[in-house]
């Protein structure tokens, strides 16, 4: 399979402190890579380094030439008071009017009906759906998602993960996802990478997510995560 992203020996030091070190991985066309690790392991920073938002101090992240990429931050930080309607936000982010196909897409992710509302009035789940819609409207070859379901009340019929999976199945794109959602990682990821500043493991979820490796990755924080994994019968 063709690689669309190759990350080699990526590292970041701030004031002499190692934030990330020796991270190497690649992403195949239409592949799904899940990044896991404890809080403070540098997962979000890694994604930002790969995207160039944060400049890494060593190593490289090389995308296939001319690739279209999209990024869905963990929590879209913005001033809730910012007077902008959902529709205006979409038109600005999308760089112009929406085609019929785009409109159908926004209907499908369930946000078209919100276009007249103030962006700041959306719930966490609605915002994530909107961000997924916007990301997909770019017709990207790769999407980076940072814990897309964090802090979201999964009360709806379809979870954010179901939506992501459904759209990936339909549109075909690669995903790099930071996630603690065990179901998603096990069922859909082709590859999982555990990091804690360094790479702890990488490979197929079934092989990698063993008790021993998880213990090494999460260390003292394992208790926090263990019940999640245990509950699902993975550990």
Residues lying near another protein in the complex (CB under 8 A) are found at: 48, 51-53, 69-71, 73, 76-79, 81-85, 88-89, 92-93, 95, 118
C-alpha span between 90 and 133 (Å, rounded): 9
Strands of 64-120, DSSP E:
69-72
CB of 232 vs another protein, minimal distance in Å: 32
C-alpha span between 184 and 21 (Å, rounded): 27
C-alpha span between 127 and 149 (Å, rounded): 11
C-alpha span between 235 and 226 (Å, rounded): 8
C-alpha span between 165 and 161 (Å, rounded): 6
CB of 220 vs another protein, minimal distance in Å: 29
81 versus 157: smaller Cβ distance to another protein:
81
CB of 190 vs another protein, minimal distance in Å: 23
Tokens representing 48 are: 């930002």
84 versus 150: smaller Cβ distance to another protein:
84
CB of 94 vs another protein, minimal distance in Å: 9
51 versus 213: smaller Cβ distance to another protein:
51
93 versus 224: smaller Cβ distance to another protein:
93
């Amino acid at each position: 399979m063709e690689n669309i992203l190759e990350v080699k020996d990526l590292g970041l030091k701030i004031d002499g402190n190692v934030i990330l070190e020796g991270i190497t991985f690649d992403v195949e066309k239409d592949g799904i890579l899940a990044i896991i690790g404890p809080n403070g392991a540098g997962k979000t920073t890694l994604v930002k380094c790969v995207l160039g938002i944060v400049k890494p101090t060593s190593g490289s992240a090389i995308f296939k030439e001319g690739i279209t990429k999209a990024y869905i931050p963990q929590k879209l930080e913005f001033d809730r008071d910012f007077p902008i309607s959902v529709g205006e936000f979409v038109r600005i982010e999308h760089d112009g009017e929406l085609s019929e196909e785009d409109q159908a897409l926004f209907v499908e992710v369930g946000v078209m009906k919100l276009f007249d509302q103030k962006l700041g009035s959306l719930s966490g789940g609605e915002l994530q759906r909107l961000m997924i819609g916007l990301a997909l409207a770019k017709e990207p070859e790769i999407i980076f998602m940072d814990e897309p379901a964090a802090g979201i009340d999964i009360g709806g019929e379809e979870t954010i993960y179901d939506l992501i999976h459904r759209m990936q199945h339909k549109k075909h794109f690669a995903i790099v996802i930071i996630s603690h959602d065990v179901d998603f990682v096990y069922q859909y990821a082709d590859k999982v990478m555990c990091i804690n500043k360094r790479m702890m493991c990488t490979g197929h979820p079934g092989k990698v997510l063993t008790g021993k490796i998880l213990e090494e990755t999460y260390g003292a924080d394992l208790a926090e995560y263990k019940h999640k994994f245990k509950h699902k019968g993975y550990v």
